[in-house]
Amino acid sequence: MAEDKQSEAGLYTVYGSSLSYFTQKLLAAMKFYAAPHQFQHKSAAEREAVESRSGTHQVPVLLTPENWMVADTTPLLNMLDHRFPERHMFPPGLEGVLVHVVEEYFDEWIARTMVHYRWHYEESARFCSQKMVREGNPDLDDKTVAGLAANIADWGGRACRATGVYSDRQEEAAEEEYVRILDAVETQLGESQYLLGTRPCAVDCIVLGGLRAHTNHDPDPKKLMVNYPKTVAWCESEADRWDGKGELAPFPAATGFARFVLRESSLTYKPYVLANADALADRAKAFIAEIYDEEVSYLTRPYPERSRRMVMDRIRHQIEPADAAKVADWLGEMGLSECFID
């Protein structure tokens, strides 16, 4: 009955966690689309049904008005772009390639820094693990919550290890990189309403996801935000007040923020994702990449390669053949050809 009412109202339901990077990315997008939607914590009672239908234990999952359960935020945004074409998050053509390349850095590289901030700081780990348990299980007693929270925090530590943020050098350098991002966000918001122009795109969604789920939320990284008043205001209210107008800065010039991200990508994301691709091809369980002038061990993961190939497919199939050379030249100038051009 509830699903029938959702269908009749054209309503979308986002299942996830308020502390989830990608859940907050999708929620930001739903607001930019002006899509009728509601947020639902993926509680213990709903977990089996949601995971069975969506085919994943990860969040978020989107329940559509026609009763589909769909996961994975980047393909979800591509689907929603077709449903809300006047408010697309990935523009067509060359600008869409630029948006996707910049978004990829946050999806597949900066996510690890969010994990580090949350689980390597005692106050944040305790606060977030307990909040995660209570969101999905509001009736549990304190002792049970503490036990489950300890298990989550232990998983968080292993996730840091798997994603390469475990030595003193890696922790320090990851934080320095994120501070550079915040500096670039603050500067860009002094020049334009959004990070790639006067309208939002998928890049704004993922950066807002990180702020809302992590660095403007968790006790330890939140201390940084006192230095970024424009970013805090954008995160907490102003970003969602989009009237549907505006445009992105043109390809390939883009904005100062986009150019900053592309430079950072060539130094960090690039060696990581290419080494991961080689490890997958060799069926290796782990690999070594040189990051921040240090050899680092990573767990081989299929999804970063799948995500990289989504960008490659956009370049192959969603731009005019005459524009392919422009993209190849641009990626070469950015030092990213090896990542996205065969």
Considering the chain, what is the average pLDDT of its residues?
A: 94
Query: What's phi and psi for 294, nearest 5 deg?
Result: -140, 140
Q: What is the pLDDT of residues 172-206, one digit of tens each?
A: 999 999 999 999 999 999 999 999 999 999 999 99
Which pLDDT value is given to residue 20?
A: 97
CA pair distance 85, 83, nearest whole angstrom: 6
Q: Are strands 294-299 and 37-41 parallel, antiparallel or unpaired?
A: unpaired
Please report which confidence band the pLDDT of residue 3 belongs to, taking 50, 70 and 90 as the band edges: low
Which pLDDT value is given to residue 232?
A: 97
CA pair distance 276, 298, nearest whole angstrom: 8
Instruction: Decide if 94 contacts 251 (C-beta within 8 A).
Output: yes
Question: Is the predicted pLDDT of residue 9 greater than 80, yes or no?
Answer: no
Query: What's phi and psi for 63, nearest 5 deg?
Result: -95, 120
Residue entry with tokens 């350098």: 173
Q: Are strands 294-299 and 69-71 parallel, antiparallel or unpaired?
A: unpaired
- Stretch 211-225: mean pLDDT: 97
Q: What is the pLDDT of residues 272-314, one digit of tens each?
A: 999 999 999 999 999 999 999 999 999 999 999 999 999 999 9
Which pLDDT value is given to residue 1?
A: 41
- Map out the domains of the chain with their CATH numbers: 2-87 (3.40.30.10), 93-340 (no CATH)
CA pair distance 335, 267, nearest whole angstrom: 9
